[in-house]
Amino acid sequence: MTLHSTLRHFEQPLMKTPFHPRTEAANKLWSWGNWGGYTTVLTYDDLSMEHSAIRNTATVYDLCPMIKYRIEGPDATAYLQRLTLRNVAKLSVGSVQYTAWVNDAGHLLDDGTLFRLAPDRYRLCCQERHLNWLEDSAFGFDVTVTEETEQIAALSLQGPTSVEVLRLAGFDVSALKPFRMAEYGFGEGRLMVSRTGFTGDLGYELWTIPDQALRLWDILFDAGQLHGIRPIGSEALNMARIEAGLIITGLDFVPADACLREDRLRSPLEMGLGWMIDWDKGHFTGKTALMGQRDQGPKWSFVGLEIDGNISAEGAILYHDRKTEVGVITAAIWSPALKKNIAMAQILTRHVTGGNIWAEIYALRELHYEKLMMQARVVERPFFNHPRRRATPPGRF
């Protein structure tokens, strides 16, 4: 999109993704939001039906605003070993890795997915923009970091019938394993399909060039007519990701480079991401600080909760014995799939076990708020964990 050079930054409209002609036509509620400077749909027409489609049919979500970096060069692997928490050397070509990275003090900057496209070429996808950090971290490495967000059209196709939709569209992905990807001929270019997603269910992400975007959308919806395909917005996706127990930067934790208060900084150990740290791979940014926290024990923990009642507890303060503040809920819903009141929360580690945790919920009832103190129980994440997410082939639904 070309903006007139005389426009000041606050006068510039949000950019439109390559799929905007289709998303605009389908957005019956005219419900829009800002994601990374792009116009994105919040809800198309019915939030309950959009969530139901994620769990029962097939859904399409516009991923174009997600930040994407191409990392390439002879030292690309060594650079990513230094930058991220996981062992990139174990990531084979054609595979995807969920990972995260921290600053020198061990505080989380962001999490994301790392795609190994070739021996010396990767794609890193994340929520926030980090080009300055990535470039500064590249000092001494023979590597090039390029933001390619605008050069890629991406869709998320999720749900139990998604594999059948792709088959009817001409892409047989039945043998594709989780966190793997494959390429197919598509028009005058290529289509990359990865078995990844943010719903905790069977699903795929599709990657092509902007010129092929509308063709891809139309092919999927033609193929999915008998399989209940429908577009979904960010609100339905948020419901599914909470059921899946997945975190979002800026919602479940504040990225270190945007955090104004020292006591709001969080480490991967405090956000339930300690499992991904490879302590034996050699030095990486933040390792010394994280080893100290590991040995001492993290002050905070990130947990899943089940809460009494059916009023969503988003933003609720947590108390021990109804009187001592011990944490805060960062994401919560009444889960339609589980028929439970679930939440994710930051809580002081010393209160994770032992029970007697209460959530202070304010319920709006006919223009008045009523304070509810509801008991909460720490439970394992993910809340929703269907076997089809990992089955290969996924099977028919």
Residue 5 has pLDDT above 60, yes or no: no
Kindly state the tokens that stand for 266: 């969080």
For residues 57 and 204, state if they share a domain: yes
Q: Which residues contact 25 (CB under 8 A, 6 or more apart)?
A: none
Write out pLDDT tens, residues 126-153. Answer: 999 999 999 999 999 999 999 999 999 9
In a domain, 19, yes or no: yes
Give the residue from 225, 243, 261 where a domain finishes: 243
For residues 37 and 177, state if they share a domain: yes
In a domain, 266, yes or no: no
User: What pLDDT does residue 11 have?
Assistant: 73
Write out pLDDT tens, residues 204-218. Answer: 999 999 999 999 999
User: What pLDDT does residue 2 have?
Assistant: 39
Number of helical H runs and strand E runs in the chain: 8, 19
Average pLDDT over residues 291-298: 97
For residues 213 and 316, state if they share a domain: no
For residues 57 and 159, state if they share a domain: yes
CATH number for the domain spanning 184: value is 3.30.1360.120
CB atoms within 10 A of CB 80: 27
Residue 170 has pLDDT above 60, yes or no: yes
Q: What span, in angstroms and rounded, lies between the C-alpha atoms of 172 and 165?
A: 9
In a domain, 181, yes or no: yes
Q: Are residues 125 and 68 in contact, defined by beta-carbon separation less than 8 angstroms?
A: yes
In a domain, 317, yes or no: yes
Burial classification of residue 140, based on how many CB atoms lie within 10 Å of its CB (0-12 exposed, 13-18 middle, 19 or more buried) = exposed
For residues 223 and 323, state if they share a domain: no
- The crossing angle, in degrees rounded to 10, of helices 234-243 and 47-56 is 50
Measured in whole angstroms, the distance separating CA 224 from the mean position of its chain's CA atoms is: 24
Give the residue from 201, 222, 243 where a domain finishes: 243
Half-sphere exposure of 143 (CA within 13 A, CB side): 27
Mean of the per-residue pLDDT values of the chain: 95
Q: What span, in angstroms and rounded, lies between the C-alpha atoms of 196 and 204?
A: 5
CATH number for the domain spanning 315: value is 2.40.30.110
For residues 59 and 201, state if they share a domain: yes
Average pLDDT over residues 379-387: 96
Q: Which helix (H) or strand (E) holds 355?
A: none
Write out pLDDT tens, residues 218-256. Answer: 999 999 999 999 999 999 999 999 999 999 999 999 999
**Domain limits at 344?**
299-379
Q: How confident is the model at residue 7 (pLDDT cuts 50, 70, 90)?
A: low
Provide the domain count of the chain.
2
For residues 171 and 235, state if they share a domain: yes
Q: How confident is the model at residue 3 (pLDDT cuts 50, 70, 90)?
A: very low
Q: What span, in angstroms and rounded, lies between the C-alpha atoms of 265 and 256?
A: 6
Strand partners, 97: 114
For residues 226 and 309, state if they share a domain: no
For residues 159 and 234, state if they share a domain: yes
Write out pLDDT tens, residues 344-372. Answer: 999 999 999 989 999 999 999 999 999 99
Q: Which residues contact 6 (CB under 8 A, 6 or more apart)?
A: none
